[in-house]
Amino acid sequence: MPLFLDRLPLHFWTDRTRTPPQSHWSVVLPVLVTDPNLPAPPASALAQSWCLDTGNTGEAFAWRHHLLTAGLDPTKHLAPTRAVLTSSLGARLLVRVRAADLWLVSNIPAHQGSPFRLHLDPEIPFHDIPTLPDPNLNRPLIGLRALRRAGLRVELDFANDTVSVWTPDPPAPTP
C-alpha cells in the first residue's frame, strides 16, 4: 500500500460558543468535491478540509455552502428522495441528497496532481440551507463507509497529533 497522506497535523480548535470555551481535536483531510464520474477533478478545483467522522455510519455529509464552494450546483444530480439523518443525540433531519465524488489530495510530491477518488454510494446528503456554517462546528464529513470501500489504511498518531493514509496498490497491468 503506497503512503498517500504523510503525517498531516490533527486540527485543533476552540469552540468559543461555550462558556467557558472548549478545545477540540479533529482529523481533517484535504478533499476535492466534484460532479460524479469525472475522469479527474477539474484543474481549478480547490481542496476543502473534510473531517473524518468515525461516528458517521454513512458515506459523507456536507452543507450547501461546501457544494457551492466546490463549484457544484446543489440543484443538479439530486436523488429522487431525501435522506433522514439522525445525530448522535437522536435529533432527526430530513436532507437533500446529491451525487458527487470525493478525491483525497496527497501531501506527498510523487502523488500531487493525482488525487485518489472515493466513490460514494449512494451520494452526499447535504443540509440545504442558505446560511454559512461555522467552519469548525459544521465541517463536511467523511464517514467510515467511504474509507472502507476505498480500502484505505488510516493511522492516527496521537503521540505526534498526526494522521497518515495509505491507498491500495494500483491494479497490475494486464499483459
Structural domains in the chain?
11-150 (2.40.70.10)
The H or E element containing residue 150 is: helix 144-150
Contact 31, 47 (CB under 8 A): yes
Our CA angle for 126, 37, 147, nearest 5°, is 60
pTM above 0.85, yes or no: yes
Contact 48, 138 (CB under 8 A): no
Between β-strands 124-127 and 92-98, what pairing exists: parallel, antiparallel or unpaired? antiparallel
pLDDT tens readout for residues 110-150: 998 899 999 888 789 999 988 877 888 889 999 999 999 99
What is the 8-class DSSP label of residue 91?
Answer: -
